[in-house]
Amino acid sequence: MSKHTTAVTTFEYDDSESDIVAGLDALALTPTTSSETPSKRMSLLEQWNDYFQKGNLEDFQRLCVDLGLPGDLPSKTKCRQALRGVNVNIKQFLACDDKPHGVMLFQSRSALMRWTRKNNAFFPRRKVPNGSPLSTLLKTLIFKPCVD
């Protein structure tokens, strides 16, 4: 074979009306433009920075309101203290368009851990900037290995 020759392997199926072949007729590919889904291309940290902006008291208060907490807390410290008791998945929170109603809040850290694992919705802790309320919201999740 020369350099410019491509080898293609084709497979033939006896059942041309298989579920897979029939299902392919229903697929429709639609191109996306850069303005349609910007959050899907942004990293989680970029999405957080876009949401949290400058990190002033108003941003902290907005975060509290979006998590169903009081929005009139007088300082960043009080906001951080209130955030300590919140069990929320950051990835789901950032993707939620209907804050605070659509935000999933978990009763316990273990419930958050199960949901996070099931949905593979982890946030990389090592990328969190110092002083960010994100470090307060992020919980250390420890998984016990499954023994069968």
pLDDT in tens, 54-111: 999 999 999 999 999 999 999 999 999 999 999 999 999 999 999 999 999 999 999 9
Structurally, the chain folds into a number of domains equal to 1
Mean pLDDT, the chain, whole residue set: 76
Answer with the residue of higher pLDDT: 148 or 122. Answer: 122
Q: Give this prediction's pTM.
A: 0.66
15 within some domain: no
| 114 in any annotated domain | yes
In a domain, 132, yes or no: yes
What HEC string does 34-57 produce?
CCCCHHHHCCHHHHHHHHHCCCCH
In a domain? residue 103? yes
CA distance 49 to 41: 14
Give me the mean pLDDT over the 2-19 stretch. 42
Boundaries of domain holding 63: 37-137
Does some domain include residue 115?
Answer: yes
74 within domain boundaries: yes
